[in-house]
Amino acid sequence: MKPVEIIHLYKTYNKRTGRLWGGAEIKTVLQDINLQLGEREILGLVGESGCGKTTLAKVLLGLEKYQNGSVKINGLEIKELTKVGFKKLRRQVQVVFQDPYSSLDPRQTVRQILCEPWDIHGLHTDTTERERALRELLQAVGLDAAHLNRYPHEFSGGQRQRIAIARALALEPKLLVADEPVSALDVSVQAQILNLLKDISRRRALSMLFISHDFAVARFLCDRIAVMYNGRILEIAPAEELLHNPQHPYTEALLSAVPVPDPLLQKKREPVELKNEYQRAAASCPYAVRCLYYQAAKCKSTCELRQTVQNHFCACAVLPFKNKKSSYAI
Amino acid sequence: MNNRIFKRILRNKASLAGFILVSFFALVALFAPLLAPAHHEHNPYQLPQSSYEVTPQPPSPQHIFGTTEQQYDLYYGVVWGTRLAFKIGITVTFFAFIIGLFLGSAAAYFGGLVDEVIMRFTDVVFAVPSLVLAMVIAAMLGPDIKNMMIALTAVAWPSYARLVRGDVLSVKNRDFVVASRALGARGPRLLLKHILPNSIYPSVVVASLDIGYIVLTAASLSFLGLGAQPGTADWGQLIAMARNWVLGSGADTWAYWHTVIIPGGAIFLFVLGWNLLGDGFRDILDPRQG
């Protein structure tokens, strides 16, 4: 039984046209998502903004409804859960958000923030027992008991993110959804938080869905990385494999934009040229409009993940390329 | 933070003047029983009447502000009128705020049809000029201070409903609310613990500054005979009684000036005080002014 199993997930939004009695426009934001997350596995989800990463996270958290397909967490289908079952699910899946300045209620002290999950679920009701649990929680994220009666605005970004992580751990979840948890932090603080997340996931045997737009960060933390574009997953592979041997043209384009720390090498790297061919929009591959390797006959019909190398899945129909340019592996 | 706002209010001359005016009226209202001992124990708002003579008498040692039509004492009227003004202003604003808070947050939180129904209803209330609507309601319920307060509340709540709705909408989808939902928190907890504490602050400030306007409208209703009854220590009522004496007596235009200027001045200074204070608050709280 896998912690997360997503099969043929579709999600659409109804966008109202603005008139009082006007109809709705349907916008598909997640299209045919298939994902599995093993125990203790950290899966990175990489893609540009607006590609559906956060929506996928919200579906996993049960905060967004989905129309078609199946999302199972520890074997339980989210859609079919009763109210009680749903509340139990909350204890298994928790979330850390990107911006620690907006994810903590400015009018609550750290103690109130950390006790809220226990209040909701009726845990640690005994006072001394609760104090002990609080101390343990703070210790796990590297905070001090003296911080308990302070308000979020008294902390730095890194400390706030530690508080947010502590809150997520309070219910001892099995799965942690981390939605760009370090993007809003300084680089030096990023490293601390990443180390903390890595450490915690090992110690607590957590599975994690780690959303990011930064390959270097994903590489450090993740076992596997999935690349998302326009609501679809285009490539998924073990982290090192993906970065050394990117197969999808989109992954390659993304990697070409990552700066390398060697100025000589960096000079030689030219970003992949992106097309803008709107007549290709009807193709089933979402990347067709911008793709360098577009072949009408192949791209129009199918866009399904298939195994190209061991454990390496790619959704490009044109593969393998004949005249491939230099590699952008990092 | 509140201390900081207070200091900035005192630094600005206009808002300092407003603060002094409002504090002065507050003290008068508070110490009304000492400043003008009640004549009718059961109803201190009933004006003392020294005789039934119609012609107002100018200020004299016995009646330092003079008397108005039918010998009602103006000093007593102004002092107890201050107390009544605060009573009306605070009660009406309080209830309007509570109703607006309830409806506005319900509209924003539930959204969809609930939002549509509540906000269209507030639009309907907004569509009628508020003084006219208050007059209609007060006339239907009958002239009485309590009914006037009901009428004023009925026209004052929609602006709070709109304000609260907007603030709740902006807080509702902030990350800390979503995080709380992910923890398993449901409706009442989310609204009371997270959304409202972070969204009512601007409305509270607006409410505190609305008091001047409410008192002005109340005076208008009383003047039109839809509020306080003749003989009540109410500023609007005092002005209504001065209506026949505005032009003075034949040759002397200013013969009865005190009947108009004294209660009118009280309303003027009271509303001016609140408005100056309100401007000060807005200058400080409006982010565009930094």
A256: left (phi over 0), alpha (psi -120 to 50) or beta: alpha
Long-range contacts of A301-307 (CB under 8 A, 24+ apart): A303/A232, A304/A32, A305/A34, A305/A233, A305/A235, A305/A236
Segment A85-133, tens digit of pLDDT:
888 888 899 999 999 989 999 889 999 999 999 999 998 989 899 999 9
**Nearest CB to B182 within list A61, A98, A108:** A61
A62: left (phi over 0), alpha (psi -120 to 50) or beta: left
A8: left (phi over 0), alpha (psi -120 to 50) or beta: left
Q: Among candidates A199, A186, A164, A159, which has minimal Cα distance to A42? A: A199
DSSP class per residue in chain B: -HHHHHHHHHHSHHHHHHHHHHHHHHHHHHTHHHHS--SSSS-TTBPPBS---SS-----SSSTT-B-GGGBBHHHHHHHHHHHHHHHHHHHHHHHHHHHHHHHHHHHHH-HHHHHHHHHHHHHHHHS-HHHHHHHHHHHH-S-HHHHHHHHHHHHHHHHHHHHHHHHHHHHTSHHHHHHHHHT--HHHIIIIIIGGGTSHHHHHHHHHHHHHHHHHHHHHHHTTSSSPTTB--HHHHHHHTGGGTT-BTTBTTTTHHHHHHHHHHHHHHHHHHHHHHHHHHHHH-GGG-
Which of A182-196, A312-326, B222-236 shows the lowest per-residue confidence on average (mean pLDDT)?
A312-326
CB contact under 8 A, B179 and A120: no
Closest chain A CA to residue B186: A120
pLDDT by 10s per residue, chain B, length 290 = 567 777 777 788 888 999 999 999 999 999 988 888 877 778 888 888 877 887 887 788 777 788 888 888 888 889 999 999 999 999 999 999 999 999 999 999 998 899 999 999 999 999 999 999 999 999 999 888 899 999 999 999 999 999 999 999 999 989 999 999 999 888 888 988 999 988 887 888 888 778 889 999 999 999 888 888 888 888 988 888 888 888 877 777 777 888 888 999 999 999 999 988 888 877 776 545 43
Confidence of residue A21 (pLDDT cuts 50, 70, 90): low
On the question of pLDDT at A183 being above 80, the answer is yes
The residue ranking higher by pLDDT, B68 or A187, is: A187
Interface predicted TM-score (ipTM) of this complex, two decimals: 0.85
On the question of pLDDT at A61 being above 80, the answer is yes
CB contact under 8 A, A121 and B189: no
Q: Of how many residues is chain A composed?
A: 330
Put the strands of the sheet holding A207-212 in their side by side order: A93-96, A175-179, A207-212, A42-46, A224-229, A232-238, A312-314, A306-309
Residue type, A299: C
Tell whether B1 lies on the interface with A, counting CB pairs under 8 A: no
Tell whether B176 lies on the interface with A, counting CB pairs under 8 A: yes
What residues contact A262, with CB distance under 8 A and at least 6 apart?
A: none
**Nearest CB to B183 within list A90, A102, A104:** A90
Tell whether B204 lies on the interface with A, counting CB pairs under 8 A: no
pLDDT for the residue A180: 92
Tell whether B113 lies on the interface with A, counting CB pairs under 8 A: no
pLDDT for the residue A19: 64
A209: left (phi over 0), alpha (psi -120 to 50) or beta: beta
Q: Among candidates A36, A37, A28, A27, which has minimal Cα distance to A10? A: A28
* Chain position carrying tokens 């997270």: B194
A90 CB neighbours in chain B (<8 A) are 182-184
pLDDT for the residue A193: 94
Closest chain A CA to residue B199: A107
Name the pTM for this structure: 0.82
Interface with A, mutate which of B171, B175, B186, B199 (most A CBs under 10 A):
B175
Confidence of residue A218 (pLDDT cuts 50, 70, 90): very high
Tell whether B287 lies on the interface with A, counting CB pairs under 8 A: no
Instruction: Tell me the two tokens of residue A288.
Output: 């067709």
On the question of pLDDT at A215 being above 80, the answer is yes
The answer to whether the CB of A299 falls within 8 A of the CB of A317 is yes
- Give the N- to C-terminal CA distance of chain A in Å, as an integer: 34
DSSP class per residue in A232-266: EEEEEEEHHHHHHS--SHHHHHHHHTSPPS-HHHH
**Nearest CB to B182 within list A94, A105, A108:** A94
The phi, psi pair for A181, rounded to 5°, reads -70, -15
CB contact under 8 A, B183 and A164: no
pLDDT for the residue B30: 92
- Provide residues of A within 8 Å CB-CB of chain B: 61-63, 87, 90-91, 93-95, 97-99, 102-108, 116-117, 120-121, 164, 167, 171
Rounded distance between C-alpha atoms, residue B46 and residue B229, angstroms:
10
B281: left (phi over 0), alpha (psi -120 to 50) or beta: alpha
Segment A127-155, tens digit of pLDDT:
899 999 999 999 999 998 888 999 998 99
Looking at residue A273, what DSSP letter applies? P
pLDDT for the residue A227: 94
The residue ranking higher by pLDDT, B55 or A166, is: A166
Percent of chain A with pLDDT over 70: 96
pLDDT for the residue B290: 37
Interface with B, mutate which of A105, A107, A163, A209 (most B CBs under 10 A):
A105
**Nearest CB to A105 within list B181, B182, B198:** B198
CB contact under 8 A, A103 and B179: yes
CB contact under 8 A, A167 and B198: no
* B188 burial level (CB within 10 Å; 0-12, 13-18, 19+): exposed
